[in-house]
Structure 1
């Protein structure tokens, strides 16, 4: 065992789909676990493969969520498919499922059944609203939970005042990290046990979203629905050649900020001279600041603000971000070749691990059922038995 492969030798059965469960399992694979992704052979497999623009067997979602895994395309609704899964479970360390509550039990693979077959297994369930309660059976994705929790209400457009969802899989990705954390710590505890004991871990997108929002949630609750406005002007401002984000939280930033943008008259204005007066006249202050900032280039503003310790950043597109010198200098991105994708895929390296390298197992996003025969053979199926499963369309891929 070393830092680059802490979970080498562990077997993970991943029945989850979408983003939250798969990203959790992907992290386990990145740390050395053998993650077998079990997905339906029908309708394109895991539905993350068909979200947005597709590239043969992949979309942007699955290119990330399947990294380092082995894919077994199998019909779990058939008796033969269930028998295959029971064989996979034998000797497994982690079982991950992301079906709607009650579904996995109807398939016959609830925690009690799986734990009885493999008593040391860490069993992880990820759902939208949780396993119990009046909303448990509702379908749910990241945007639904952003709305339900209050994130959408908080994210009102500056120009239209209308609530908007945050256009990334925010809760899903955070759920993946929370799931990885819970599984990793469980495995750490289990390794010291003479007789390994299994554990059931239940996580919902609702729970993850609440944790993600906790500071704003506390502030809004204690302040009766509206978090107190800062006394310092912050946000996105137009410039001559783009936009800049300026973030200030300390009253001591006011003078150097005014110096940076050459607006000492505002510094000396009684309406804005103290935290209390700025808070009371913040809208008026913004109205005066915006045209002044818009008279300068982003680079000029950024340099002068940074020199004076004022936090700021150019508002980039993703393409512009990937071209930033700072990104190249820090080596945070890998550019990977993936099956079916004509261009190299920009993929963040995993913190604490060696950089991803095209062609390596960790850096490969498998096609649907790419490892079906291999996984079956590893679990004792003969060539004839494997051929029969393919002929009956129980298994697909290669």
Structure 2
């Protein structure tokens, strides 16, 4: 109704409350998928090998807790239990958990869970409503499916690495080797949402198959269509990109960099006006993208000469005055000092008795009524064994002790 203010966020309802997720994945892609679900209220039970734990615990910057920063960050809001799926009793316990779960996420090499008697065909018998996310280097099918894969391989095979760098130099890492892991985790959590909605209608679960390279391949705009349509092979262009110009990073007087993106003739006209040369836009010599693309190097040099007349802050102010899309090329130190990041709460600071206070990216996306939240950081190994094995499966202390002695939990 008009005149009424919007409701404040609901204090108790979480978007995914009541959804139980078993996370048998390791390292990054699968764990990031379940992190997304956990942040919005799903109960995520992270399963690790007894005594050893997930390799992510020892990857990256280590903390006094004995676990790494990536572990503390990407296992937030999860319950951690130990279970050896390779042992028959461990496999049986997983099946018991599956009967009470909605989702299972794994990222082993294809065939690994089948070897342990825990593949999709087996688990769907235990729970016909189960949704199973399977993330691997090359997917569950195809000639390369048995191969191991990490993010760097996903970037390379997916076509992104080939585009990163300068035309006269070797391909470089496109920002981060973990882009495919995070993208695949996002696609995995999105797939869970689709599958949960489908289950509401069909009453059946399904599996979700993602290759790390596919998540990269999907985001490369017209790369595929342009090759098929006209045989165009896109090459490395340094900081520039196809179809638009000027659209790059430019130096400033204070030895910093500004990103400027003229994605249309109209926006270029604004930049030309800001630069005091409106005559080159519109009906001028660079008024159309075909003209600017032809003279790309000359235009980039021209814009770079202009940006170097200003400090970064003044150059942004000039662009803002004429509504030219721009932004600073930031290091992480710059990010920590930026007032917009602070106003949006993008950096979350979490206190933990094991490590003190640490900073990390906050929850994305923002839901107005049922927002996500970080409740706790990555737990210690087996921290929730009693909670899950006693509370969920009804095992006794004696049962758990026997399983520990046998190396099952």
TM-score interval, normalised by the smaller of the two chains: 0.7 to 0.9
Deviation at 1:311, TM superposition (A): 0.5
1:213 aligns with 2:227: no
Matches of 1:143 and 1:367, distance apart in 2: 29
Match of 1:380 in 2: 394
Look up the SS of the partner of 1:344 in the other structure: strand
Matches of 1:175 and 1:41, distance apart in 2: 27
Look up the SS of the partner of 1:386 in the other structure: helix
Matches of 1:133 and 1:33, distance apart in 2: 33
Report if the CA contact (8 A) 1:57-1:340 is conserved.
no
Look up the SS of the partner of 1:288 in the other structure: helix
For residues 301 and 4 of structure 1, do their structure 2 counterparts lie closer, same or farther at Cα, with a shift above 3 Å needed?
A: farther
Report if the CA contact (8 A) 2:128-2:205 is conserved.
yes
User: Which deviates more from structure 2 when the two are superposed, residues 244-253 or residues 304-313?
Assistant: 244-253
Match of 2:44 in 1: 35
1:109 aligns with 2:118: yes
Match of 2:57 in 1: 49
Matches of 1:192 and 1:286, distance apart in 2: 54
Match of 1:26 in 2: 35
Look up the SS of the partner of 1:387 in the other structure: helix
Report if the CA contact (8 A) 1:271-1:281 is conserved.
no
Matches of 1:51 and 1:221, distance apart in 2: 41
- Counterpart pick for 1:166 among 167, 170, 174: 174
Match of 1:354 in 2: 371
Match of 2:337 in 1: 323
Q: If the length of structure 2 is used for normalisation, what is the TM-score?
A: 0.86
Deviation at 1:371, TM superposition (A): 1.0
Report if the CA contact (8 A) 1:145-1:206 is conserved.
yes
What are the ranges of 5 or more consecutive residues in structure 1 without an aligned counterpart? Answer: none
Report if the CA contact (8 A) 1:17-1:48 is conserved.
yes
What's the CA shift string for 1:6-38, capped at 9, x where partnerless? 322222111111221111112222222211111
For residues 244 and 264 of structure 1, do their structure 2 counterparts lie closer, same or farther at Cα, with a shift above 3 Å needed?
A: same
Report if the CA contact (8 A) 2:265-2:282 is conserved.
no
Report if the CA contact (8 A) 1:17-1:46 is conserved.
yes
What's the CA shift string for 1:60-115, capped at 9, x where partnerless? 33233212111112222223322322222222111222110110001111111111
Look up the SS of the partner of 2:171 in the other structure: coil
Matches of 2:353 and 2:175, distance apart in 1: 26
Report if the CA contact (8 A) 2:80-2:381 is conserved.
yes
Matches of 1:58 and 1:229, distance apart in 2: 43
Look up the SS of the partner of 2:303 in the other structure: helix
- Across the aligned residues of Structure 1 and Structure 2, the Cα RMSD in angstroms comes to 2.6
Report if the CA contact (8 A) 1:231-1:276 is conserved.
no
1:136 aligns with 2:150: no
For residues 213 and 85 of structure 1, do their structure 2 counterparts lie closer, same or farther at Cα, with a shift above 3 Å needed?
A: same
Matches of 1:287 and 1:189, distance apart in 2: 53
For residues 256 and 207 of structure 1, do their structure 2 counterparts lie closer, same or farther at Cα, with a shift above 3 Å needed?
A: closer
Report if the CA contact (8 A) 1:5-1:31 is conserved.
yes
For residues 103 and 339 of structure 1, do their structure 2 counterparts lie closer, same or farther at Cα, with a shift above 3 Å needed?
A: farther
What's the CA shift string for 1:340-373, capped at 9, x where partnerless? 434422222232143635xx3xx43222221122
Match of 2:4 in 1: none
Q: If the length of structure 1 is used for normalisation, what is the TM-score?
A: 0.88
Look up the SS of the partner of 1:213 in the other structure: coil
Matches of 2:224 and 2:98, distance apart in 1: 40
Matches of 1:368 and 1:100, distance apart in 2: 23
Match of 1:15 in 2: 24
Matches of 1:132 and 1:274, distance apart in 2: 46
1:389 aligns with 2:396: no
Match of 1:370 in 2: 383
Deviation at 1:313, TM superposition (A): 0.4
What's the CA shift string for 1:134-180, capped at 9, x where partnerless? 2111111111111112101111248x643112233222112112111
For residues 27 and 274 of structure 1, do their structure 2 counterparts lie closer, same or farther at Cα, with a shift above 3 Å needed?
A: closer
Matches of 2:199 and 2:66, distance apart in 1: 37
Match of 1:149 in 2: 158
